[in-house]
Chain A
Amino acid sequence: MGFLNAVRSFIVVFNYFCMAFTLLLSVIYIIQLFVSFFRVHRDYSKSFSDDFHSYVDSDNLLPISLIIPAYNEQENIVQNIRSLMKINYPMYEIIVVNDGSTDKTGELVVNAFHMHKIETSIRYQIPTQKIEAVYYSKKYPNLLYVQKANGGKSDALNAGINISRYPLFTCLDADSRVEKDALLRLALEFIKDSRTVVAGGIVRIANGSKIVDGELKGFSMPKKLIERFQIVEYYRSFLMGRVFWSSTNSLLIVSGAFGLFRKQTVIDVGGYKRNTIGEDMEIVVRIHRYMRKNHKKYRVKFNELSVCWTQGPMSLNDIRSQRRRWQIGLMDTLISHFGMTLNPRYGFVGLLSIPYNWIFELFGALVETIGYFLIPFTLLMGELNMFFFVIYFLLSVALGVILSQGSLVLEQYTHRAAMTAKQSIAVSVYAILENFGYRQLITIFRVEGIIKYRKLHKTWGKIKRKEFEQ
């Protein structure tokens, strides 16, 4: 009896803990939403007098190396390179790094752009796997194709950094599309504040959107529910979370699909970490660590007007694999930089951002999942009042809707959506629906990532995507 009572008490206490945890997280999110609203409002107002197009001719504009690590990307690679050749930026080079693909990625690039093998000296500032060949085309002088032995995405990026010529570089996913002015807007962050070492842009779900040569030409609701939920999810994640964290200079992640880096800083910290699948977060955390440790002034920025489009996963299996990888990446980074947690030496990053990620982003999924199983169990045991359970559930759904809907308002406010009013309202319905099944599934996938951390934390993930609509 004593044991049963102890279990009972534990369950009751845990229930209260879960509720308090969820409410606290919601309050934090609402604060983020408010701060983001003011930030976005300010930036949007500012953009009126910001004649960013005039910078195209400016000598202050730093040239950029666009590095595309590619592993079995035959579906999208050529199309993506062609789209990058049309971006509005005066001086840039495109470096495609083929990380030992087993499909026709290399062949397609070489043939499509009439490239030929050249001998070139490479400055190995960051150690990488052997670079087997470099291809160049007289017809496309700002394109370079690098063939190297398989070493993972980080290794491919490091090889791209070694061979790049320019002081800024951006890593782009082979299956993403950058809007025409996106790079210019991001590069302005480096001009306007010379302390900037990293600048990230917003990543949007391209499923359903028609993107032609880096310009959004129209939107139709994607067919699958899973794609519709992701549209809402991405708005929330970028417009709320990243805007907030960058306003405190403690943004820990710049999306692997689209971020601009000061090359020398990345070289100083030793390049991308190999054998990790969360290299995009890890490099930013390492930069924070290095800069703060060495008392260097720096800024990690986020520009919500700079847009990159990416194809979101279209099947449950793919989204499962993606979210598992994200969670593993988060866990790997937090473990690698455990020393920064609650360490005042690292300022806001160590005291707030990293603990937040530990508590809410990593363990939050665990607490939520245990709650999913435990609360109905408690209900069955008669330890939980049914009325209270329903109210609590509705409250957590309502808080979730406030956040998602708030992000959609922000999106609409910046006039960026190519949706009509009807479509926009239709999308907002999914801000409600995602709370009934989708959100829970995603949380479970994240927990799966934590459980399988040891097994999966060194693999390249691959998601099946469709080609961009042209």
Chain B
Amino acid sequence: MKIELISVLALLFCLLIIGIEYIMHYRLAELQDEHTARIENIRHRLDVHVEGVLYAPTDSSRESEINALTDEINGDYEVYEMAVSTIRTHKGTSYHDDIEAQDLLIKQIDEKVDPVSIYAKMLDEGNVYHKGYACRRLAEMNAMEYRDKIKECIDTKNRDLAYNAAMALCHMGDLYEVAEYLLSIQDDHMYSGRIVNEFFAQFTGDRRELAELLFEKCNKYMKCTIIKTLEKYPIDAFRPMYIEGASGNDTQLKIACVKALGAFGYPEDEQILQMAAQDNDWVIRSSAVRGLSRLKSPTALATVKHALGDKEWWVRQTAAQAITKMDIMPSDLEEILGGYDRFAADAVKNVLYKTVDTE
């Protein structure tokens, strides 16, 4: 009897849970319906107001439409962002191409709505994810007066918030805070690589200063990562360091420096790249071949041609890709395609099929 009683109680308990789940489900579904309907309504009204602004016959009617748009936003960040998006994507006459007119309208709305205060409130009162979002938005709006508040967020234990705050300061070009943040994560190799890449891409300050500051204190892994990242932003002042690294024995540093040197495309670096093209490590050889292809000298071309027959597939592929971008004579191509080196011929054929119209 006891087990049967327990079973009945368990069944009743299950039914209670099912009931709660159904209520939750229905409520959530209703909320979603309401949300969808609300968004649709707002979108429609925003469209009407934007059109009103565009086609307003007089300045006063235009002003009243802008006021209506402002009232619609009413301190809600979601509506504000929708309004900006509506203005940017509105297709009316030639307006959708006129970035200046769009900027002007957004500026007028900003003056009335003060979006900075909306995001500042979010930064003060929101949860960690809202705070993170607010940091990014405030940085995009150049709200420098909130820099100190954003800095406070970097010290939080929540990794997402710290990242968003640091990214915001990156937008604001805050050299020391960004450097400190990057140094604080340098031992986490799973994380720091991509962060360095992202931060250098977004940094609005002087990249050279940031790199110098980091080079002073960072470990080898971070140094290599920064050098690889700087391949996209060649800075002459670092060339001597790259030359030293490319001539050294540390493989990781050598790879980074050869890549960075290759990106300059300076003829005076050819000798170092030629030496790197003979290295035992295939990544170094491949990076050197790519760098040499930018030089376009006869000796560089000869090395790239030689690399077409490299024992490593990736080097051959890199060489084949590179050679089609160099000033190569048709006779040279014929020689490769009809030559004894099957690997070289295959690699070039592969690239040519995709770059030359063979139809």
B11 contacts A391, CB within 8 Å?
yes
Residue A421 lies at the interface, judged by CB distance under 8 Å to chain B? yes
Residue A387 lies at the interface, judged by CB distance under 8 Å to chain B? yes
A118 contacts B358, CB within 8 Å?
yes
Query: Which single residue of chain B is at the shortest CB-CB distance from A297?
Result: B190
A421 contacts B26, CB within 8 Å?
yes
Interface string of A45-65 (1 = CB under 8 A from B): 110111100000011100000
B194 contacts A421, CB within 8 Å?
no
Residue B24 lies at the interface, judged by CB distance under 8 Å to chain A? yes
Residue A146 lies at the interface, judged by CB distance under 8 Å to chain B? no
Contacting residue for A121 out of B131, B232, B347, CB 8 A: B347
Query: Which single residue of chain A is at the shortest CB-CB distance from B343?
Result: A121
Contacting residue for A398 out of B15, B32, B197, B350, CB 8 A: B15
B25 contacts A395, CB within 8 Å?
no
The B191-226 residues at the A interface (CB cut-off 8 A) are 191, 193-194, 197-198, 201
CB distance from A41 to the nearest CB of B (A): 12
CA distance A175 to B133 in the complex (A): 38
Interface string of B163-178 (1 = CB under 8 A from A): 0100000000000000
Which of A223-231, A242-250, A254-262, A402-410 is found at the contact surface with chain B?
Answer: A402-410
Which of A191-199, A300-308, A348-356 is found at the contact surface with chain B?
Answer: A191-199
Residue A417 lies at the interface, judged by CB distance under 8 Å to chain B? yes
Residue numbers of B with Cβ under 8 A of A are 3-4, 7-8, 10-11, 14-15, 17-18, 21-22, 24-26, 28-30, 32-33, 35, 127-133, 136, 160-161, 164, 189-191, 193-194, 197-198, 201, 232, 313, 343, 346-347, 349-350, 353-354, 357-359
Contacting residue for A116 out of B131, B313, B359, CB 8 A: B359
B129 contacts A425, CB within 8 Å?
no
B160 contacts A49, CB within 8 Å?
yes
CA distance A395 to B32 in the complex (A): 32
Residue numbers of A with Cβ under 8 A of B are 45-46, 48-51, 58-60, 114, 116, 118-121, 123, 136, 138, 141, 191-195, 297, 385, 387-388, 391-392, 394-395, 398-399, 401-402, 405-406, 408-409, 412-413, 415, 417, 419-421, 424-425, 428
B130 contacts A49, CB within 8 Å?
yes
B22 contacts A413, CB within 8 Å?
no
CB distance from B357 to the nearest CB of A (A): 6
Query: Which single residue of chain B is at the shortest CB-CB distance from A49?
Result: B132
CA distance A49 to B159 in the complex (A): 12
A195 contacts B190, CB within 8 Å?
yes
B194 contacts A60, CB within 8 Å?
yes
Contacting residue for A402 out of B7, B17, B26, B131, CB 8 A: B17
CB distance from A76 to the nearest CB of B (A): 27
Contacting residues, chain A, for B10 (C-beta < 8 A): 395
Query: Which single residue of chain B is at the shortest CB-CB distance from A192?
Result: B194
Query: Which single residue of chain B is at the shortest CB-CB distance from A44?
Result: B129
Contacting residues, chain B, for A121 (C-beta < 8 A): 343, 346-347, 349-350
Between A and B, 8 residue pairs with Cβ closer than 8 Å are A48-B132, A120-B346, A138-B358, A195-B190, A402-B17, A406-B21, A417-B29, A421-B26
CA distance A191 to B161 in the complex (A): 17
CB distance from B297 to the nearest CB of A (A): 28
Which 3 pairs of residues, A with B, have the shortest CB-CB distance? Answer: A121-B346, A49-B132, A398-B14
B201 contacts A58, CB within 8 Å?
yes
A409 contacts B232, CB within 8 Å?
no
Known: A401-B18, A421-B26. A120 touches B193 (CB 8 A): no
CA distance A48 to B232 in the complex (A): 31
Contacting residue for A119 out of B21, B191, B353, CB 8 A: B353
A394 contacts B29, CB within 8 Å?
no
Contacting residues, chain B, for A394 (C-beta < 8 A): 11
CB distance from B349 to the nearest CB of A (A): 6
B198 contacts A60, CB within 8 Å?
yes
Contacting residue for A425 out of B17, B26, B201, B353, CB 8 A: B26
A392 contacts B136, CB within 8 Å?
no
CB distance from B49 to the nearest CB of A (A): 26
Contacting residues, chain A, for B17 (C-beta < 8 A): 402
Known: A59-B232, A428-B25. A420 touches B33 (CB 8 A): yes
Known: A121-B350, A193-B190, A399-B14. A425 touches B25 (CB 8 A): yes
A194 contacts B29, CB within 8 Å?
no
B4 contacts A388, CB within 8 Å?
yes
A421 contacts B353, CB within 8 Å?
no
B28 contacts A402, CB within 8 Å?
no
B347 contacts A49, CB within 8 Å?
no
CA distance A419 to B30 in the complex (A): 11
CA distance A415 to B39 in the complex (A): 14
Known: A49-B133, A59-B201, A120-B349. A388 touches B7 (CB 8 A): yes
B32 contacts A415, CB within 8 Å?
yes
Contacting residue for B197 out of A58, A297, A409, CB 8 A: A58
B129 contacts A45, CB within 8 Å?
yes
Contacting residues, chain A, for B347 (C-beta < 8 A): 121
Known: A141-B354, A194-B190. A46 touches B160 (CB 8 A): yes
Contacting residues, chain B, for A408 (C-beta < 8 A): 21, 25
Query: Which single residue of chain B is at the shortest CB-CB distance from A412?
Result: B28
Contacting residues, chain B, for A401 (C-beta < 8 A): 14, 18
Contacting residue for B358 out of A58, A116, A417, CB 8 A: A116
Contacting residues, chain A, for B350 (C-beta < 8 A): 120-121
CB distance from A401 to the nearest CB of B (A): 5
Known: A401-B18, A417-B32, A428-B22. A395 touches B7 (CB 8 A): yes
Query: Which single residue of chain A is at the shortest CB-CB distance from B345?
Result: A121
Known: A60-B197, A119-B349, A421-B32. A405 touches B21 (CB 8 A): yes
CA distance A101 to B15 in the complex (A): 51
Query: Which single residue of chain A is at the shortest CB-CB distance from B35?
Result: A415
CA distance A191 to B4 in the complex (A): 54
Contacting residues, chain B, for A398 (C-beta < 8 A): 11, 14-15, 18
A412 contacts B32, CB within 8 Å?
yes
Contacting residues, chain B, for A395 (C-beta < 8 A): 7, 10-11, 14
Contacting residues, chain B, for A194 (C-beta < 8 A): 189-191, 193-194
CB distance from B167 to the nearest CB of A (A): 9
Known: A119-B349, A136-B354, A391-B4. A424 touches B198 (CB 8 A): no
Contacting residues, chain A, for B25 (C-beta < 8 A): 405, 408-409, 412, 424-425, 428
Contacting residues, chain B, for A424 (C-beta < 8 A): 25-26, 29
Contacting residues, chain B, for A48 (C-beta < 8 A): 129-130, 132-133
